[in-house]
Structure 1
């Protein structure tokens, strides 16, 4: 039992560290290396790294290439368009569902903290912290909604979208408008305004997608 728990802990650690490197673009799209090279880079043994890479392949972040190791998958403009279309379809209805059933102050606390952190990060011009708080807001909403399959599915889309956001974060206007929209979404949830929560959330996702895709196209690259 102890050996199994130790192995699972090592695999979980390798998975979390590799995913963090990919999400932050420290292992950028197109990066390719053998499993021993990746293990050496991470300071870990090869076996947990291999199992972590298998998980990341299932999530659409890497491709395992026989005898050549792993490659971090690029994110195309079309990928991002599809991802944002799905999120625009899912999240507004999830927000409306939370507003309609009502949420307690304690239940909304993670959303409040994320919104406060977004505002503080914006004031400090810390865009990386802002993006992290933004991710927490959306994840907390789906946690509150309670559909586990939706949350797990959306989490994979968030991981793929996050890489493109980090590339374009400093090429966009400061996220003042986005921060205001998150505050408004929170207030709609507090008020139990299902119709308003759905409307604000959908408008937010559509605007964010439009801005992101315009920047990716202007970079002249079909893929990141």
Structure 2
């Protein structure tokens, strides 16, 4: 059994145990395989370039090939894997050029979302959610917990996109965030301490509270462009051509 697949069955069992008794329907085998493989890929526990057949994955998960095949098709549609007939799947790497394109797209889409949310105005609950994300970022930086900072950062961005109410925009942003997530996690400790990034979020939140769409658009575009440029520079400086 390929080493990166070791422990998948136990992880699946643990997930089922954690979900036991929770309201809602039980996930199908296809959904379970998709969720687990997706999480492992995004967390770099299954790394870029990794290859395995459907049968190897099915054996590791303790299920038949059909739900595995369905899960791989979904992952392929999200740009995370390549499915090859008779060869199973390969986890797709993300290159510096990929990240450049991804950040250009995220900059455009999230800027639209920020301006839209500002013009619509935030509810008390929405404001509280964004405020908590900013607080969590500040506290994570204070204790130098970069992973917790990154989680709060992603939460802020996804809340912002959720609040704009555009389902198609949210779906697109989610797909590109997933593709960027692996690179962000790998390069997290190669970047300077993200103090300015946290301040950018606080400034954006202030513009959203004031319902200043122009300021929200300008602040978020500058933030996103700066983040993308810094990430590309890290990849080039360290010779990380594909992750």
TM-score (norm. length: structure 2) = 0.85
Query: Could you give the per-residue CA deviations for residues 113-154 of structure 1, whole angstroms, max 9, x where no partner exists?
Result: 222222222222222222121111111111100000000011
1:116-195 aligned at under 5 Å gives the runs 116-195=135-214
CA distance in 2, matches of 1:157, 1:32: 22
Which sections of structure 2, spanning at least 5 residues, go unmatched? 1-23
Q: Does structure 2 retain, via aligned residues, the 8 Å contact 1:7–1:48?
A: no
Greater per-residue helix proportion: 1
Structure 1 residues 187, 63: CA separation in 2 closer, same or farther (over 3 Å shift)?
same
Which residue is 1:37 aligned to? Answer: 56
Which residue is 1:216 aligned to? Answer: 235
Question: Following TM superposition, by how much is the alpha carbon of 1:86 offset from its aligned partner in structure 2, in angstroms?
Answer: 0.9
Query: Is residue 58 of structure 1 aligned with residue 77 of structure 2?
Result: yes
Which sections of structure 1, spanning at least 5 residues, go unmatched? none
Question: Following TM superposition, by how much is the alpha carbon of 1:6 offset from its aligned partner in structure 2, in angstroms?
Answer: 7.6
Structure 1 residues 18, 142: CA separation in 2 closer, same or farther (over 3 Å shift)?
same
The secondary structure found in structure 1 opposite 2:83 is strand
Which residue is 2:104 aligned to? Answer: 85
Q: Does structure 2 retain, via aligned residues, the 8 Å contact 1:21–1:27?
A: yes
Q: Which moved more, 1:172-181 or 1:102-111?
A: 102-111
Which residue is 1:71 aligned to? Answer: 90
How many aligned positions are there?
220
Question: Following TM superposition, by how much is the alpha carbon of 1:96 offset from its aligned partner in structure 2, in angstroms?
Answer: 1.0
Question: Following TM superposition, by how much is the alpha carbon of 1:210 offset from its aligned partner in structure 2, in angstroms?
Answer: 0.6
Q: Does structure 2 retain, via aligned residues, the 8 Å contact 1:119–1:179?
A: yes
CA RMSD of aligned residues (A): 1.8
CA distance in 1, matches of 2:56, 2:143: 37
Query: Could you give the per-residue CA deviations for residues 179-223 of structure 1, whole angstroms, max 9, x where no partner exists?
Result: 111111111111111111111101110110011001111222432
Question: Following TM superposition, by how much is the alpha carbon of 1:8 offset from its aligned partner in structure 2, in angstroms?
Answer: 5.2
Which residue is 2:44 aligned to? Answer: 25
